[in-house]
Amino acid sequence: MELYRAAVRPLLFACDAEWSHRATMAFCRTLSRSKCVLKMLERQFAVRDGRLETIVAGLKFDSPLGLAAGFDKNGTAVDIVSRLGFGFVEIGSVSERPSGGNRARPRIWRLPADEGLRVYYGCPNDGAAVVAARLEKSRPTVPVGINLVETNTGQLVTAEQAAVELALALTRFAGIADYIVLNLSCPNMPHGPGGLFDEPEELGRLLQCIGRSTRLPPVFLKLKPAGDLQDPRAIDPILQAVDGYAFVKGFILNIPNPDPYATLRTPAAALDRMRGGITGPSLRRPTNAAIGAWYRRIDRKRHVLIGTGGISSAEDAYEIITLGASLVQLYTAMVYRGPGLVRQINDGLCRLLARGGFRNIGEAVGSANIRPGRYFSSRATISTWAE
């Protein structure tokens, strides 16, 4: 990590953020051609410890820590990143048709004072058919998920059109992806922060459309609940909408920064020159609060939570796990701290598990959230929750 901070990061940060990302991806593609390099990376970064192993949605993960979508948008670096110590890797967001994303430049800004990013990419990608063919030839060493989104044409689409697109894109990854994420809340698409499937009725129609597909892998929904993120009246309608669709295995809560001007060190004048979603540590508190609330509502025999948002240390990962996340993801922290952070977090999780008296990650999930005898399913009444 020190080498990255002292030598690599200054070079990358001296250039435009999007150019630096493209250069990093090109470097990864070059390295992936060498089997010796791949083996060396795995020896350097992987942590093999049975306490980190967990099974989620029938999939085995050597670590609960994964790479979030956004870094490898097109599956061009999956062979490299799967050897950096992650327990899983998520590709995307990928749409059925190729898209150049949002046209206006710049589309990504660094927020160094907050170790964050502001992103307005608009999901540029090569399209589902190309990415699926690429992944079929790859040789990842960990489970790989595909994050799917409707095609960004720059024009508004209806929920019905988006549902048909998502279902078609999903079929291309059957037998290739270990799991699928339906990204229903991307903040920098033409429809803005309000998702096309915010209403439970529309979400139900989407799942009905998806359910017609065959050979479905585990599916997770990435969403931002409308209204108060911790209110059962916002959570329960979503849980009821997915009831009956066994292929939905859980949720990723896409929690925005509720008040960037109050929570960020970056000057307001600088923020006003940017647009898009904000990532980084400022998301940790609202994300943790939402994870805790959702964990108390879900049927934990059916659904799990994947925590993402502001994780940059073992302590961050451990906290969100004990609040209810079965898996966790990061991306932005790697931009600021380098790939060595992955091993540091995995090693730290082992120490924290030992300190907490847990034999494995599974025992720690939700341990700080639910008191003995207090269990709330998706069918619980609001009055029960409020007791």
Tokens of 179: 């799991």
**Alpha-carbon distances, residue 347 vs 88, 184, 312, 331, 367 (angstroms):** 16, 33, 14, 18, 20
Query: 195: closest CA among 233, 165, 239, 150?
Result: 150
How many angstroms separate the CA atoms of 256 and 283, rounded?
Answer: 7
**Active-site annotation, residues:** 186
Pairing type for strands 116-119 and 108-111 reads antiparallel
Residue 204: which region, alpha, beta or left (left: phi > 0; alpha: psi -120 to 50)?
alpha
Give all strands (DSSP E) within the chain, no chain letters: 54-56, 59-61, 65-67, 88-94, 108-111, 116-119, 144-148, 179-183, 219-223, 248-253, 277-279, 304-308, 325-330
Residues linked to residue 59 through DSSP beta bridges, in sequence order: 56
Q: How far apart are CA 238 and CA 262, in angstroms?
A: 30
Residues paired with 279 in a beta bridge = 117
The DSSP letter of residue 18 is H
Contact 294, 235 (CB under 8 A): yes
Nearest CA to 263 out of 372, 115, 366 is that of 115
Whether the Cβ atoms of residue 249 and residue 219 lie closer than 8 Å to each other: yes
